[in-house]
Amino acid sequence: MPVKGLGEYDSNNIFARILRGEIPSRRVYENEFAVAFHDIAPQAPLHVLVIPRGPYISFADFTTKASDAEIAGFFRAVGKVAADLGLEAPGYRILANMGEDAGQEVPHFHMHLFGGKRLGAMLVAP
Ligand code: 5GP
């Protein structure tokens, strides 16, 4: 069931629990602002999720409420993860689902990082 992307943060969502270490994840990077780990159901040879440490529901929530330092730190982390994983030369795709129409399922802002093959059309028709 897609989430709305705005409203009250649910501190028991799955990524909040991953951040607290209550649920295991295959972490590839973390810093003061962000944590990156492999998606449990990868949709490309390389599919990593990057999430801010702060309690933000969605892209809209993050970009309106997070501090400049959190926003800069988060996006720098996304770029560093992609570089560290060797994706700069072949290329990669980043994507964030925001709210119901995009099908966002986990109500903690995250960016998907896809790579490892030619990724094809940006949107696949349903
Ligand atoms: P969304 O649809 O919200 O943009 O993406 C949520 C993503 O989280 C999906 O790609 C899904 O596979 C991933 N995911 C859901 N539950 C877990 C989990 O427990 N661990 C990890 N590593 N990924 C998860």
- Enumerate residues lining ligand 1, CB below 6 A: 14, 23, 25, 37-41, 49, 97, 103-106
Whether 38 is covered by a domain: the verdict is: yes
What is the average per-residue pLDDT within 19-37? 97
Domain that holds residue 37: 14-115
pLDDT for residue 122 is more than 80: yes
In this predicted model, what pLDDT tens digit does every residue of 59-87 receive, in sequence order? 999 999 999 999 999 999 999 999 999 99
Alpha carbon of 94 to ligand 1 centroid (Å): 15
pLDDT for residue 42 is more than 90: yes
* pLDDT the model gives residue 28: 98
Counting ligand 1 atoms within 8 A of each CB, the residue from 35, 39, 100 with the most, and so the one to mutate, is: 39
45, 115 contact by CB (below 8 A): yes
Which pTM value belongs to this model? Answer: 0.96
* pLDDT the model gives residue 36: 98
Whether 2 is covered by a domain: the verdict is: no
What is the domain count for the chain? Answer: 1
What CATH number is associated with residue 108? Answer: 3.30.428.10
Which are the contacts of 24, defined by CB distance < 8 A and separation ≥ 6?
18
CA 38, 114, 75, 64 dihedral sign is negative
Whether 65 is covered by a domain: the verdict is: yes
Closest ligand 1 atom to Cα of 14: 19
Whether 41 is covered by a domain: the verdict is: yes
